Amino acid sequence: MAKLLLRRLGQMVLIMAVVSLILFIVFDSDKFKKQIAVNELGGFGVQALTEQEYENWLTSKGLNVPFYVRYVDWVGDVLRGDFGFSFEKNTAVGPLLAERLVATGILGFWVFALMIPIALTTGVVAGMKEGSVQDRTVSFISVLTTSIPEIATAIFLTVVFALGLGWLPTKSAMTQGFDWTQLVLPVATLVLYDFGYVARMTRASMAEVMISQYIRTAILKGIPYRRVIMRHALRNALIAPFTVIVLQLNWLLSGVVVVEVFFQYNGFGRLLLDAALFGDIYVIQAATLVAVFIAVFSQIISDVGYTLLNPRIRFS
């Protein structure tokens, strides 16, 4: 177990190193160096520079040394907690990122708190009896909700609950401080889009377990049906959905971009998109690194969890 954990952590460090190096090489191009200059000096300022002055500017910023030298420096900075400076937001990247991550964390927490129980219950109920009415209903609803992209779900919910009924605000910028009513629509959008996938996975897993021979053994052993489901089936059926749910964290990071932009929620996704459109390089680099960290870390949790839940692997 410790060996597995160590190996996966090692793998994570390696992936992070490769990713950050790729990011660094990508952003080392002339195009992006110029972008930094534009960010700092303004568009006209850069145009006014002669070739020589631009070179001098690069030297003064330490940008014209080979990228691997700068990479080592940058890694050192990041390890010391210095993520660089956001020209667009005119602030240090570190605190900005932390603030936005907290906002997205709140969003994510509620999404998971609602999505997991809904998805697991519906999935299990559907998979218990393949082909039954409840199975068909759940399957239909989950196909429908996963087929409607987040952007469309956000529109439909806004039109009905904000524009039509007027129950909820259309935007979630939280300019007047935290307001839970502004959280409802973004959370609902993400839950609706996400739950179907997890429910379908749970259903498939449950259905597979229900036709397995050991469930037949349990039933033909004459123990009550409740116990067959609760003790024999669930334990095995929930192994696969568990890993899927943890990996959903990765999906969520994609989903929040759209939702945060549409509802103008000041979270991590919106920060990333703004930075990308503006060319705010240090923000993009830092945000990507954080996103990859979360994704790889959730993979490790999922792997470790899978091993812990599955005795067949745990003891081999």
- Minimum CB distance to another protein smaller for 82 or for 274: 274
CA angle 288, 294, 298 (to 5 degrees): 145
Among 236, 243, 266, 302, binds another protein (CB under 8 A): 236
- Minimum CB distance to another protein smaller for 154 or for 184: 154
- Minimum CB distance to another protein smaller for 39 or for 299: 299
**Amino acid code (one letter) for 100:** R
Binding mask 264-293 for another protein (x = CB under 8 A): -----x--xx--xx-x----x--xx--xx-
Tokens matching residue 140: 């239909």
> What whole-number distance in Å separates Cα of residue 203 and Cα of residue 198?
8
219 touches another protein (CB under 8 A): yes
CA angle 255, 156, 247 (to 5 degrees): 20
- Minimum CB distance to another protein smaller for 61 or for 221: 221
Q: Using CB under 8 A, which residues numbered 113 to 142 contact another protein?
A: 131, 139
Among 195, 271, 295, 302, binds another protein (CB under 8 A): 295
Q: Using CB under 8 A, which residues numbered 14 to 43 contact another protein?
A: 14-15, 18-19, 22-23, 26
- Minimum CB distance to another protein smaller for 150 or for 183: 150
Provide long-range contacts, Cβ within 8 A and 24+ apart, for 135-141.
135/203, 138/199, 138/203, 139/200, 139/203, 141/196
> What whole-number distance in Å separates Cα of residue 182 and Cα of residue 175?
11
Min CB(32)–another protein separation in Å: 8
Among 75, 141, 174, 261, binds another protein (CB under 8 A): 261
Among 257, 271, 283, 286, binds another protein (CB under 8 A): 257
232 touches another protein (CB under 8 A): yes
Among 5, 9, 144, 173, binds another protein (CB under 8 A): 144
At 92, give phi and psi (nearest 5°): -70, 145
At 168, give phi and psi (nearest 5°): -130, 155
173 touches another protein (CB under 8 A): no
> What whole-number distance in Å separates Cα of residue 245 and Cα of residue 194?
10
> What whole-number distance in Å separates Cα of residue 209 and Cα of residue 233?
6
Min CB(123)–another protein separation in Å: 16
